[in-house]
Amino acid sequence: MQTSQIDLVDFGAEHLEAAVNLSRQAGWPHRPEDWQMALAVSSGVVAVEDESRVVGTALVTSYGKDCATINMVIVDEAMRGRGLGRKLMDAALVIAGNRQLRLVATSDGLPLYQKLGFREIDSVLQHQGHVPIVAAPNDVEPALEADFDTIAALDRAAFGADRHDLLDYIGKVGRFAVIRRAGQVHGFAALRAFGRGEVIGPVVAANSDDARTLISFFMASRPGAFLRVDTTADTGISPWLAAHGLAHVGGGVAMRTASVEAATLSEPKTFALANQALG
Ligand SMILES: CC(C)(COP(=O)(O)OP(=O)(O)OC[C@H]1O[C@@H](n2cnc3c(N)ncnc32)[C@H](O)[C@@H]1OP(=O)(O)O)[C@@H](O)C(=O)NCCC(=O)NCCS
């Protein structure tokens, strides 16, 4: 039997179409625009078979010099179990350098990440559904351009790293809302098109009441729309999401390399992820 040659090359725009096909094959909802966004804020690697066919992908999204997420790790179904996932991860680890690493693992990816020294931090809970009629809350409003620095600062405090570029991109393709009290921004949420519909996230707030209020604001603005929210078990808002039309449909395991501490108890807190890939 003739063996094929597999090369790892830098992930470029020319690989996007094949990447979309791979994520569809894996049952993921990413549209070309979602891959485009991921690539715009990331560096990555693709595995190419016989110089033509893309059979694997991995992206590294760096948040400043200290932190990165590894995401979109996919190997073509027909090529799994032959060490390709491991090779893609090794290449991703080189791109990430000595940054602290985070990812959300599927059950397929979990054994690989455990072997590479990632440890489990929390459960990620994926909620989605068609939005029922929801009353609009009073103290949330669309963000002003002048709020961006405060939004970025709140996100940095909650996430533990600077996600300026990501938030900038989200601002271009979506919109932000803020809780403003006595002129001060106390939390924010973002809404953008993603996958089968739209996603609410990130959501950063001082407490779960404020997080629910922010989510309600976007739900109230999109009756009947297909909305998704990726939260973590420790936020405690999962039952509320399920009771408000966004069913729990799956999720993953939030993992980090050993050098990163688990989320602190300090305020503000991340109540919903930008998505599972970007954290
Ligand atoms: C996850 C995925 C990328 C792995 O790709 P792959 O090419 O099959 O992975 P590899 O063959 O390199 O195997 C990776 C390691 O995990 C181990 N492994 C795989 N399944 C395992 C299992 N069920 N139990 C224990 N170890 C397992 C392998 O032995 C290997 O370890 P080694 O490098 O020490 O030999 C692939 O299954 C995939 O694309 N799944 C769908 C998309 C997905 O879920 N991606 C993960 C996103 S977080």
Is 108 a pocket residue for ligand 1 (Cβ < 6 Å)? yes
Ligand 1 contact, 73 CB (< 6 A): yes
First to last CA, the chain: 42
What's the average model confidence in pLDDT over 3-27?
97
From 45, 106, 108, the mutation candidate for ligand 1 (largest count of ligand atoms within 8 A of CB) is: 108
Helix (H, G, I), strand (E, B) or coil at 56: strand
User: Exposure string (b/e) for 227-247, b if CB count within 10 Å is 16 or more?
Assistant: bbbbbbebbebbebbeebbbe
Where are the chain's structural domains? 6-98, 126-272
pLDDT at 259: 61
Q: Which class does domain 126-272 fall in? A: alpha beta
Residue whose tokens read 């729309």: 225
Segment 107-157, tens digit of pLDDT:
999 999 999 999 999 999 999 999 999 999 999 999 999 999 999 999 999
Task: State the Cα–Cα distance between residues 195 and 158, nearest whole angstrom.
Answer: 25
* Radius of gyration for the chain, computed over Cα atoms and rounded to the nearest angstrom: 19
Backbone angles phi, psi at 230, to 5 degrees: -105, 115
The average pLDDT across 167-181 equals 98
User: What is this structure's pTM?
Assistant: 0.95
DSSP-based three-state secondary structure for 112: helix
- Nearest-atom number in ligand 1 for the CA of 107 is 44
Q: Is 24 in the pocket of ligand 1 (CB under 6 A)?
A: no
Tens digit of pLDDT for each residue in 197-235? 999 999 999 999 999 999 999 999 999 999 999 999 999
Do 6-98 and 126-272 agree at the fold level?
A: yes
Residue labelled with tokens 């503000």 = 268
| Residue nearest atom 28 of ligand 1, based on CA coordinates | 112
Calculate what percentage of the chain has a pLDDT beyond 70.
96
Please indicate whether residue 151, judged by its CB atom, sits closer than 6 Å to ligand 1: no
Question: What is the pLDDT at residue 267?
Answer: 81
The stretches of 116-265 forming alpha helices (DSSP H) are 148-159, 164-173, 208-221, 238-243
Alpha-carbon distance of 162 to 152, in angstroms, equals: 7
pLDDT confidence of residue 6: 97
pLDDT digits (tens, 9 = 90+) for 20-71: 999 999 999 999 999 999 999 999 999 999 999 999 999 999 999 999 999 9
Query: Where in the chain does DSSP place strands (E)?
Result: 6-10, 43-49, 53-63, 67-75, 100-105, 118-130, 140-142, 174-181, 184-194, 197-205, 226-232, 247-257, 269-272
| Single-letter amino acid code for the residue at 2 | Q
User: What does the pLDDT read at residue 195?
Assistant: 97
Per the CATH hierarchy, to which homologous superfamily does domain 6-98 belong?
A: Gcn5-related N-acetyltransferase (GNAT) (3.40.630.30)
Residue of 20, 57, 72, 75 to test ligand 1 pocket, by largest number of atoms within 8 Å of CB: 75
Residue 113 pLDDT: 98
- Region 90-95: mean pLDDT is 98
